[in-house]
């Protein structure tokens, strides 16, 4: 059992790992009762060794680990890295770099959306991982040998997965696609949780400037409270309650208490006072300074959207890439409404793969037909003189 519990041991293994072109990394953490994830264990491996770091060991200084995460000469390989990176961002203000996420790479290589680590290991190495310690309490000490073995397995098999995906990306010439995907994952802005931006997750619920203004203030208050007290957002105010308060905008304790979703007695608590103050700040905002409210794009363009969905499915199947990775429904609605929409499907490799064809289809320069039971896309000239064995596809679209 290789368990690192002292700063000296951590310094030595980080020095050895830094000599390798890549290392594999994973973390075990808890966050059920906190806002910020509580780091419990960090697993590290090179081609030569693997170990688990007891992040809760008394007196342990994680500075050598953070230096390794920032080393530009060592690629850090994770699987489903977002939450792991969030931990490093919170503790040290850094995003591990260079970065390689095997879940993202697997999606690019055609393994479907968000493939699990165990499924990927089974596919690549034909190994069934032991999941018996998956839901263990990683904050309890001492750690058992079974826990440490489980944790280390998460980085030892990851080495083979990394090599496999590197080869796959090279042979399919999709390395550039992965670079585009990793840009978002590597951006510090992805992990910044500024209270003033908390409303963005709920922006679709605001239909009027007043709704938006109040939502911005109430959501910001909740986020600041949750961060300051290090408790989950729901401990402060559940999402549905927050939305009801923002849309109703009560201006007195009585009116706040009359809302069905508001917990009994909250209107008379400090939280109730803070919520009413946030509502007043929202109502006092100048509507001209508010972000633009996105209007529902659906309606007249729904037929176009449905055709774009068919094209997306055809491209996805033909290229072996998950449809949601190429374009979202919001992307399709935006393209139906605007040729120059600022969406991912009209940028980079997605435009080359799908976006350019989507615009051609939208303007009648591309046709969809059924050939041998499969949807195929035809340029307009080809569509005008179809082969005898081609059956024109007729789409019935419900608005």
Domain ranges of the chain: 3-190, 195-289, 302-392
Tens of each residue's pLDDT in the chain, 399 residues:
589 999 999 999 999 999 999 999 999 999 999 999 999 999 999 999 999 999 999 999 999 999 999 999 999 999 999 999 999 999 999 999 999 999 999 999 988 888 999 999 999 999 998 877 778 899 999 999 999 999 999 999 999 999 999 999 999 999 988 988 899 899 999 999 999 999 999 988 998 999 999 999 999 999 999 999 999 999 999 999 999 999 999 999 999 999 999 999 999 999 999 999 999 999 999 999 999 876 655 444 588 999 999 999 999 988 888 888 899 999 999 999 999 999 999 999 999 999 999 999 999 898 887 777 676 666 655 444 444 444 344 343 333
Its CATH architecture, for the domain 3-190, is 2-Layer Sandwich (3.30)
Return the SS3 of 41.
strand
Q: Give the fold, CATH level 3, of 195-289.
A: DNA polymerase; domain 1 (1.10.150)
pLDDT of residue 132: 75
Q: How far apart are CA 44 and CA 25, in angstroms?
A: 5
Nearest in space to 247 (alpha carbons), one of 284, 287, 213, 285: 213
Identical fold at 3-190 and 302-392?
no
Asked whether 350 and 312 are in contact (CB, 8 A), the reply is no
Q: Which of 37, 28, 32, 185 is nearest to 103 (CA)?
A: 185
Round to whole Å and give the CA distance between 15 and 3.
16
User: How far, in Å, CA of 387 to CA of 389, rounded?
Assistant: 6
Neighbours of 328 (CB within 10 A): 15
Residue 38, beta-bridge partner list: 30
Report whether 187 contacts 126 (CB < 8 A). no
Looking at residue 301, what is its pLDDT? 58
Neighbours of 380 (CB within 10 A): 12
Fold entry, domain 302-392: DNA polymerase; domain 1 (1.10.150)
- Residue 396's pLDDT is what? 38
Provide the 10 A C-beta neighbour count for residue 270.
8
Task: Please report, for residues 42, 132, 323, 355, 356, the alpha-carbon distance to residue 369 in angstroms, rounded to integers and kept in the order given.
Answer: 52, 50, 19, 19, 18
Question: What's the confidence (pLDDT) of residue 41?
Answer: 98
| pTM (predicted TM-score) | 0.84
Helix (H) or strand (E) holding 101: strand 99-101
């Amino acid at each position: 059992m290789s368990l690192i519990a002292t700063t000296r041991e951590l310094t030595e293994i980080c020095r050895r790992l830094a000599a390798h072109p890549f290392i594999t990394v994973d973390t075990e953490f808890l966050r059920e009762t906190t806002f910020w994830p509580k780091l419990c264990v960090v697993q590290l491996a090179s081609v030569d060794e693997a170990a688990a770091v007891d992040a809760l060991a008394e007196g342990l200084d994680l500075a050598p680990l953070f230096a390794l995460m920032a080393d530009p000469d060592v690629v850090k390989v994770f699987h489903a890295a977002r939450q792991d990176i969030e931990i490093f961002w919170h503790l040290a203000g850094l995003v591990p770099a260079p970065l390689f996420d095997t879940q993202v790479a697997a999606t690019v290589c055609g393994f479907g959306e968000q493939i699990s680590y165990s499924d990927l290991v089974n596919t690549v190495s034909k190994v069934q991982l032991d999941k018996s310690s998956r839901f263990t309490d990683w904050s309890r000490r001492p750690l058992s040998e079974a826990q440490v073995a489980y944790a280390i397995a998460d980085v030892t098999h990851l080495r083979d997965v990394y090599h496999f995906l590197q080869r796959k990306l090279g042979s399919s010439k999709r390395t550039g696609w992965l670079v585009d995907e990793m840009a978002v994952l590597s951006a510090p802005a992805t992990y910044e949780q500024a209270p003033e931006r908390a409303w963005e997750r709920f922006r679709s619920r605001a239909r009027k400037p007043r709704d938006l203004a109040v939502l911005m203030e109430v959501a910001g208050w909740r986020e600041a409270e949750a961060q300051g007290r290090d408790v989950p957002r729901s401990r402060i105010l559940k999402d549905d309650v927050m939305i009801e308060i923002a849309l109703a905008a009560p201006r007195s304790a009585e009116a706040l208490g009359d809302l069905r979703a508001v917990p009994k007695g909250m209107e008379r608590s400090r939280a109730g006072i803070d919520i009413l103050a946030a509502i007043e700040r929202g109502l006092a905002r100048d509507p001209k300074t508010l972000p633009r409210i996105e209007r529902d794009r659906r309606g007249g363009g729904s037929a176009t959207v449905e055709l774009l969905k068919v094209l997306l499915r055809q491209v996805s199947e033909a290229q072996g890439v998950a449809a949601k990775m190429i374009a979202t429904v919001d992307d399709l609605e935006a393209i139906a409404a605007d040729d120059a929409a600022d969406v991912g499907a009209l940028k980079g490799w997605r435009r080359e793969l799908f976006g350019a064809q989507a615009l051609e289809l939208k303007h009648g320069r591309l046709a969809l037909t059924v050939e041998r039971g499969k949807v195929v896309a035809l340029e307009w000239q080809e569509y005008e003189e179809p082969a005898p064995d081609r059956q024109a596809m007729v789409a019935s679209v419900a608005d």
